[in-house]
Amino acid sequence: MKTINNNQWGDVWKNDMHAYDADSELMSMNIENVSVRCEKIMHYVKQHIGDLTQKKSVEVGCGGAIYSQIFARMGAIATLIDYSVEALELAERNFTNLGLDADMIETDVFNLSSNLIEKFDVAMSFGTVEHYRYPERLEICRAHIDLLRPGGICIISTPNIFFLPHELLKILLVRKGKWFLGYEGSFSPFELRNVGHKLGLRNIKIIGSSWRADLIRYMNIIRETNTFKNWFQTTNPQVDALLSPTKQTHNWLDDFIGHDIVLLGVKDV
């Protein structure tokens, strides 16, 4: 798989904009807002920098910017950076629909302007750094640190290579020519922790999303495929009940086999 270039990412976000549904986007944010992953992130943020009111956050490779919306709702001053104009337009739609403000900056994270260096209390990305190979893989992670003031918090969320449903589905889609996100090298919790050490972070913590909620989501994705529908012509009420989304609860396995794993750390003073 090849890394997607700037123009190709623009096409990805154009497709998202064509299918844009404000109610669906709002629902996605509200679901994430009460997720296990978000709860753990917010606990860490509160522990290390306290109330988000008037704190400055920046999201790298923002896409739809769900977490910037969550932070802005909690009083943070949000900045979104991306080299895709289309991604910024999508994020702006989301912010406008919520009546929120954000500073949208079209820029290359590998060539940051001096007026962005060490200006933020939180630097974060979700589903971004895994699309790069080394050495760029470490360099884009290091860009988060460059954006942070001393004592600021780094949040880097990536797919977990140990969440096998995603890895197997990705292999299948690649073979069928239906994978459109270019190179995606999922991290292991061990690799992500090692990145944190290389970045010089302190108070490093690796947390994961709810593996049970993630498994249910992927099983429902599989059930919607034509192959599954061709093999299983009827539905089973008991299976439907089992796979219906429920309130997420913590489990000790989340940090090891959840779909998303997150590096949390504080920039040294």
Type of residue found at 13? W
What pLDDT shows up at residue 239? 46
In the chain, what are the domain boundaries? Answer: 6-210+254-266
Would you call 31 helix, strand, or coil by DSSP?
helix
What pLDDT shows up at residue 253? 97
Contact 91, 80 (CB under 8 A): yes
Residues 180-221: tens digit of each pLDDT: 888 999 999 999 999 999 999 999 999 999 999 999 988 887
Residues 34-75: tens digit of each pLDDT: 999 999 999 999 999 999 999 999 999 998 899 999 999 999
Pick the CATH number of 6-210+254-266 from 1.10.8.60, 3.30.160.270, 3.20.20.80, 3.40.50.150: 3.40.50.150
Q: How far apart are the first and last CA of the chain?
A: 39
Phi–psi pair at 137, nearest 5 degrees: -60, -45
Q: What is the pTM of this model?
A: 0.90
What pLDDT shows up at residue 269? 84
Instruction: Say whether pLDDT at 116 is over 80.
Output: yes
Q: Round to whole Å and give the CA distance between 2 and 260.
A: 22
Q: What is the DSSP letter of 112?
A: -
Would you call 100 helix, strand, or coil by DSSP?
coil
177 C-beta neighbours (distance < 10 Å), count: 7
- List, edge to edge, every strand of the sheet that includes 260-266: 102-106, 77-82, 56-60, 120-126, 148-159, 260-266, 202-208
Instruction: Say whether pLDDT at 123 is over 50.
Output: yes
Instruction: Say whether pLDDT at 107 is over 50.
Output: yes
